[in-house]
Amino acid sequence: MYEERPSRLAGAVVWTNRPADTGVGRVLPDGCMDLLWNDGRLLVAGPDTRAYVTDGESSSWAGVRFFPGTGPGLLGVPAHEVRDRRVELGDLWPAVEVRRLCDRVEAAADPVTALEDVALARAAAVDAPDPVLRRVVTALDAGRPVAATADELGLGARKLHRRCLSAFGYGPKTLARILRLQRALALARGGTAFADTAVRAGYADQAHLARDVKELAGLPLGELLGRRVGGAP
């Protein structure tokens, strides 16, 4: 069973996933990075460009999903270096520190809260997120064109691309496409007709929505909505 709640870390979400069976799991791209806890290990989930599919995963997972663009500053790795990957935190941080944190989470009465505490402590030790990155997310999630977003932020197209690559793992056009997918899924899950979902989410038409969902999620929209989506790392 998948559950989530807002984190005490601004903009983040804390989640747990305890699969009831060993079937296929599917995590859709959302522009985020996660700090994960699984079987005594700390891992980092990089930003996905396509659905991340798990097969036969029966162990429990917990995670802190950071607001888009904030993960690299907290985890100390450019997003594009872990794009479409799940890596051990020990590959990114000193092994002694990671072992200490693993022992702390393992010994906690509530490992999920302990994992959140790790994220909060890290946030307190590093620089605050660049506010420009949140403005990028806000503009693109509102459907603003990439060129207009760059102009409004006082950034050239190339500089915006470089900033996005480091912060989100891909360029602004891909980020905009992924945010549009998430808008569409929220509407469709809420019962909005697919044709209306396409218009309201910013697609040219329903066929455009269908193609994009199939490419990014790996399933047709109707089939996707018939399954529980998201959560498993």
CA nearest to 67, candidates 5, 132, 10, 142: 10
Q: What are phi and psi of 115, to 5 degrees?
A: -65, -40
For residue 96, give its domain range: 2-125
Q: What angle do CA 27, 30, 36 make, to 5 degrees?
A: 60
Asked whether residue 106 is domain-assigned, the answer is yes
Q: Is residue 67 part of a domain?
A: yes
3-state secondary structure of 102: helix
Rounded Cα–Cα distance for residues 115 and 105 (Å):
6
Instruction: From first to last of the 233 residues of the chain, give the pLDDT tens digit.
Output: 889 999 999 999 999 998 776 667 789 999 999 999 999 999 999 999 999 988 766 688 999 999 999 999 999 999 999 999 999 999 999 999 999 999 999 999 999 999 999 999 999 999 999 999 999 999 999 999 999 999 999 999 999 999 999 999 999 999 999 999 999 999 999 999 999 999 999 999 999 999 999 999 999 999 999 844 343 33
Taking the C-alpha atoms of residue 40 and residue 197, their distance in angstroms, rounded to an integer, is: 41
Q: Is the distance from CB of 223 to CB of 213 less than 8 angstroms?
A: no
Strand 13-17 and strand 24-27: pairing? unpaired
- Do the beta carbons of residue 32 and residue 66 sit within 8 Å? yes
What are residue 44's phi and psi, to 5 degrees?
-120, 130
What local confidence, expressed as pLDDT, does residue 188 receive?
96
**Would you state the pLDDT for residue 23?**
64
Residue 211 lies in a domain: no
User: In angstroms, rounded to a whole number, what is the distance separating the alpha carbons of residues 94 and 30?
Assistant: 28
* Overall number of domains in the chain: 1
What sections of the chain are H helices per DSSP? 71-75, 95-107, 111-125, 131-141, 146-152, 157-168, 172-189, 194-201, 206-217, 221-225
Residue length of the chain: 233
Does residue 79 lie within any of the structural domains? yes
Handedness of CA 125, 27, 135, 154 (dihedral sign): positive
Asked if residue 22 is part of any domain, the answer here is yes
219 inside domain:
no
**Residue 213 belongs to some domain of the structure:** no
Does residue 160 lie in a domain region? no
Beta bridge partners of 42: 37
CB neighbourhood size of 34 (10 A): 26
